[in-house]
Amino acid sequence: MNTPLIPHEELRQRYNPDGSLLRRQQMRMLHILVEVDKICQRHNIRYWLSSGTLIGAVRHGGFIPWDDDLDIEMMRSDYERLLEILPHELPDDLALQAHSTDPNYCYHYAKVRDRCSYIEEKPNYDRFFKHRGIYIDIFPLEKQHMWTHKLSELSFGHAYKLMRTYKGSDEECMKKVKRLYAWNVRFIYPLLRLVNRITGAKTITSGLGIPFHNPRYEEDIFPLTTIMFENRPFMAPHDSDRMLRHIYGDYMKLPDLSQLKPHTGSIEIYNNETNKH
């Protein structure tokens, strides 16, 4: 069921009016994005707004009013470069969260976290992590066959299940998850990437081990353009409309607003956020 289009300001007043906790969270995420964008521009790293963030930019000119996350994507080569650069260039109030900076963080995509907040998600996977502040997600994409991507997801899917259902101690759980992570990164994923390279895989989709399957088309992504998001220009796919329609169908229609479920369980913000950049 879809909801008829409602004026944006009416949605803003209903879900994220200025001063509300959600709006403050969104402004923190915007601050993170601004800083990451500066670094990407400085080093010619190509990224673009994605998923609900891109829908928000096109449909609302900023955040979807009820959205409590922010996503960007980039190709694998740019992603690896960015992970090397971020620890040296992020401002002191932000931190890169990847396996290289937080050994308990065993996802195959990265986050940039705010150090001046605390967030608890549903399900509570983040209880294992060093940094637990407000964040944005950074997803690597790569060319691969859909079957190799699905195989990579199966090979790491047990780790997600462990974090959700394990009855023993958190320490025991993380030992098992880390072993699975290491096995995949050292052996399984290099083999799958070799297969993709030798066989000339052309489909662009989320990196190995990331449980999202939607393919992208190179002509929809490149050359990149810019889009306004919360009154600021950020990088966007060449044809955002075609990409979003391919993935989501008629994304301009609102979802059933009675079925909205936030990702966030609880959140604390420790000091006054800075809205000037």
pLDDT tens digits, residue range 70-100?
999 999 999 999 999 999 999 999 999 999 9
How many angstroms separate the CA atoms of 185 and 208, rounded? 9
User: Is residue 96 assigned to a domain?
Assistant: yes
Q: Which pLDDT belongs to residue 170?
A: 76
In three-state secondary structure terms, 259 is helix
Question: How far apart, in Å, are the Cα atoms of 11 and each of 16, 28, 232, 257?
Answer: 8, 20, 20, 10
How many angstroms separate the CA atoms of 267 and 108, rounded? 24
Number of domains in the chain: 1
User: Is residue 187 assigned to a domain?
Assistant: no
Question: How far apart, in Å, are the Cα atoms of 86 and each of 24, 35, 111, 164, 254?
Answer: 24, 10, 11, 30, 36
Tell me, what CATH number does 15's domain have?
Answer: 3.30.460
How many angstroms separate the CA atoms of 248 and 238, rounded? 17
Question: How far apart, in Å, are the Cα atoms of 192 and each of 147, 186, 197?
Answer: 10, 11, 9
> Where do we find the tokens 């989709």?
205
User: Is residue 134 assigned to a domain?
Assistant: yes
* pTM of the complete model beyond 0.85: yes
Out of 75-89, 199-213, 257-271, the most confident range is 75-89
How many angstroms separate the CA atoms of 36 and 83, rounded? 11
User: Is residue 117 assigned to a domain?
Assistant: yes
Give the domain extent around 29.
8-142+212-269
User: Is residue 154 assigned to a domain?
Assistant: no
- Alpha-helical regions (H) of the chain: 8-15, 21-42, 51-60, 76-89, 146-165, 170-183, 189-198, 218-221, 240-248
User: Is residue 161 assigned to a domain?
Assistant: no
User: Per-residue pLDDT tens for 150-178?
Assistant: 888 887 777 767 777 766 677 888 888 88
User: Per-residue pLDDT tens for 94-138?
Assistant: 999 999 999 988 889 999 999 999 998 766 667 788 899 999 999
Mean pLDDT, residues 48-70 taken together: 97
Provide the pLDDT confidence category of residue 8 given band limits of 50, 70 and 90: confident
Residue 2 above 60 pLDDT?
Answer: no
Average pLDDT, the chain: 90
User: Is residue 188 assigned to a domain?
Assistant: no
- Nearest residue to 42 via CA among 53, 50, 34: 34
Percentage of the residues of the chain whose pLDDT score is greater than 90: 66
Q: Which pLDDT belongs to residue 274?
A: 45
Angle at 112 between CA 108 and CA 138, to 5 degrees: 45
- Contact 81/30 with Cβ under 8 angstroms? no
- Contact 70/33 with Cβ under 8 angstroms? yes
Which are the contacts of 8, defined by CB distance < 8 A and separation ≥ 6?
Answer: 60, 61, 65
pLDDT: is 49 or 210 the higher one?
49
How many angstroms separate the CA atoms of 135 and 34, rounded? 12
**H or E segment at 95?**
strand 94-97
> Do β-strands 135-143 and 71-75 pair in parallel, antiparallel, or remain unpaired?
parallel
User: Is residue 121 assigned to a domain?
Assistant: yes
What's the chain's length in residues? 277
Angle at 35 between CA 109 and CA 227, to 5 degrees: 85
